[in-house]
Chains A and B, each alone.
Chain A
């Protein structure tokens, strides 16, 4: 019964307005989609013009990691309205668990163990930090998640010491295919495939299952959802576990690409691009996180390999900052988000 109700409400909300544009309505009626497509085409065109084709490929792969993290950020923001600054630490914890477990258990089982470790961390964070602060303002929770991130980094420095460790990829072949003369390794393909698969699964989960609809309902009308007999708090732990799983997947698939990892590395390298990706996508849109991750990844790779910028240190960070500022000033609702 609940599913029917929630489903009806959603469909009535999303029903397009009567159009007077005939066949063009499909495109014009969806300006967001048009804008996204135009943006991607413009960026790719610019890159080809500047002879940065390889950067597109590198950026797509890097963008997959941002997209995966951004999916988790969007999930938590949708369900509890929190900016989760500990999202990348779910990944780092998973990588550490993978590093410890792959000796005794073998790589495939260690991967499962690593993801379980990330999920466990998500549940603990939700129970000990998020739930006691359930009714407090969002900025308080933001400070708290930043504290969780620093605590995880501190624990890694404490237990893991301040040194880089080697981690080999799950699949080792470095040159499976060549796209635009850029070799793509198995691990990178796996990362992109994981993003696509998880994106589709999440979309199905939110549109087809009772649980997914309940989470959407809880994010839009928590009181009404409680009245319908659904425990919003229990949904909250489920969402955090799911987001931690996504963070863990991003970690165990991305970290081995560079071959080494150290304390807090993913927070340093991935968190801000992932947030920028989520903001670009509109902060509440799962496809938006996907598109945003791709855009941020490609823009970053382009800036790093563009020859005119060689004198500037930290180009990758600067371009992400500029993207963030630009989106927030010109289009704060993001590319695919709806205006609040």
Chain B
């Protein structure tokens, strides 16, 4: 293309182009300067020392602290690890797909009874029984989900609630399967025959579950789950099969719950039907929500906290029972026994979480997590994740 313009114009154009190039260059230099100024924060050696020290203290609390504890305490620690698995199971459902299960005691309980029945009555090896418990958990999720996921949201919660009571009233009343009122015995596996060994085994399983959960969320399926939680309609226009992926998440949650149930059975060495009631299902939901949806560390901490609270361990160790006794003796406040404490404090924490701190524990510990990972400490650092319970959609 030839434009025979006057020479003056060409000169002007050249000058303008030069000016523009200079401006771009200046911008690049400035950007580089700014980048140099805001170089990624690197902790000093002392900073690293404190970070490593805190991390080591946390690891020691989990791994070393239980070593010299009495057996009854170690059983409770195992329970905390198992509750964390159950919490992660609910997190898959509630956190990733926004569907709520109010009947999770059924999945956990059926896992418990399946494993106990196979090991005690059928003399199966431990590993095979746990595998079958997981499969059964996944299978019932598949069947129930196939029916219930035609209706999402509120009705799904209702169906799972109803299913939970069917399990506790009917299935757990079948004496041949559950051993009747005295329960079905479930011995510790031979490779972890002491409560201490079993505790470390539970920790190992929890680590595997966390890893599987983490890897799952990196896959196409995981991204699809996150997309369909944000907005199922938009997700379906992007070609995501909403029903199939929700069902997939439900099955994963069922498998995790079956695993948690099986571990719980052998932790107690006996499974009794009355332990799996409506209150337990609500405690499971509460520990997941209070822990913080979609925050693995938050859910693990929340679940462990509620396991220790509902078994009375925290109340006992914090010596608050004397305070409760004092209040009961001197005021009109009745005595709050450690068995009931979780039923009173749990819902209170849940309602506080829902109304004031929707991100739960996960959001609260986020600054510490970021600091441990080598960032500057910032109390208001919520990271890149904006966590809200309001993401749970009907």
Residues of A within 8 A of B (CB): 83, 85, 128-129, 132-133, 136-140, 142-144, 146-151, 153-155, 157-159, 264, 267-268, 272, 275-276, 279, 312-318, 320-321, 324-325, 328-329, 332
Q: How far is the CA of A137 from the CA of B100 in the complex (A)?
A: 13
Query: Which A residues are in CB contact (< 8 Å) with B340?
Result: 154, 157-158
Query: Nearest 7 pairs between A and B by C-beta?
Result: A314-B169, A154-B343, A313-B173, A314-B170, A151-B347, A138-B394, A154-B344
Residues of B within 8 A of A (CB): 98, 100, 102, 147-148, 150-151, 153-155, 157-159, 161-163, 165-166, 168-171, 173-174, 278-279, 282-283, 285-286, 289, 334, 336, 340, 342-344, 346-348, 350-351, 354-355, 389-390, 392-394
Query: Which B residues are in CB contact (< 8 Å) with A315?
Result: 170
Chain B min CB distance to A282 (Å): 12
Chain A min CB distance to B90 (Å): 11
Query: Which A residues are in CB contact (< 8 Å) with B98?
Result: 139
Q: Please tell me which one of the listed residues A143, A151, A321 contacts residue B163 in the complex, with CB atoms under 8 A apart.
A: A321
Let me know if A157 and B392 touch, CB within 8 A: no
Query: Which B residues are in CB contact (< 8 Å) with A144?
Result: 350-351, 354-355
Q: How far is the CA of A313 from the CA of B166 in the complex (A)?
A: 10
Let me know if A151 and B354 touch, CB within 8 A: no
Query: Which A residues are in CB contact (< 8 Å) with B283?
Result: 150
Let me know if A150 and B389 touch, CB within 8 A: no
Let me know if B334 and A143 touch, CB within 8 A: no
Q: How far is the CA of A268 from the CA of B274 in the complex (A)?
A: 13
Query: Which A residues are in CB contact (< 8 Å) with B157?
Result: 83, 139, 142
Let me know if B165 and A272 touch, CB within 8 A: yes
Query: Which B residues are in CB contact (< 8 Å) with A267?
Result: 278
Q: Please tell me which one of the listed residues A85, A133, A142, A153 contacts residue B343 in the complex, with CB atoms under 8 A apart.
A: A153
Query: Which A residues are in CB contact (< 8 Å) with B351?
Result: 128-129, 144, 147-148, 151
Let me know if A324 and B162 touch, CB within 8 A: yes
Q: How far is the CA of A143 from the CA of B351 in the complex (A)?
A: 9
Q: A138-B153, A272-B161, A321-B165 are in contact. List 15 more A-B contacts (CB 8 A).
A: A129-B355, A136-B389, A139-B392, A140-B389, A146-B102, A147-B286, A154-B343, A154-B346, A154-B347, A314-B169, A314-B171, A316-B169, A318-B169, A324-B159, A329-B147
A150 with B346, Cβ < 8 A, contacts A279-B158, A324-B158 known: yes
Q: Could you write out 12 A-B pairs with CB less than 8 Å apart?
A: A83-B158, A137-B390, A142-B157, A143-B350, A150-B283, A154-B340, A155-B344, A275-B158, A314-B168, A314-B169, A321-B166, A324-B158
A312 with B159, Cβ < 8 A, contacts A144-B351, A146-B102 known: no
Q: How far is the CA of A147 from the CA of B284 in the complex (A)?
A: 11
Chain B min CB distance to A80 (Å): 12
Q: How far is the CA of A316 from the CA of B344 in the complex (A)?
A: 30
Query: Which A residues are in CB contact (< 8 Å) with B334?
Result: 158-159
Query: Which B residues are in CB contact (< 8 Å) with A143?
Result: 100, 285, 289, 350, 354, 389, 392
Q: How far is the CA of A185 from the CA of B392 in the complex (A)?
A: 47
Chain B min CB distance to A121 (Å): 14
Let me know if A139 and B393 touch, CB within 8 A: yes
Closest to A159 in B: B334
Q: How far is the CA of A78 from the CA of B227 in the complex (A)?
A: 30
Q: How far is the CA of A312 from the CA of B173 in the complex (A)?
A: 8
Q: How far is the CA of A149 from the CA of B146 in the complex (A)?
A: 29
Let me know if A139 and B170 touch, CB within 8 A: no
Query: Which B residues are in CB contact (< 8 Å) with A275?
Result: 158, 161-162
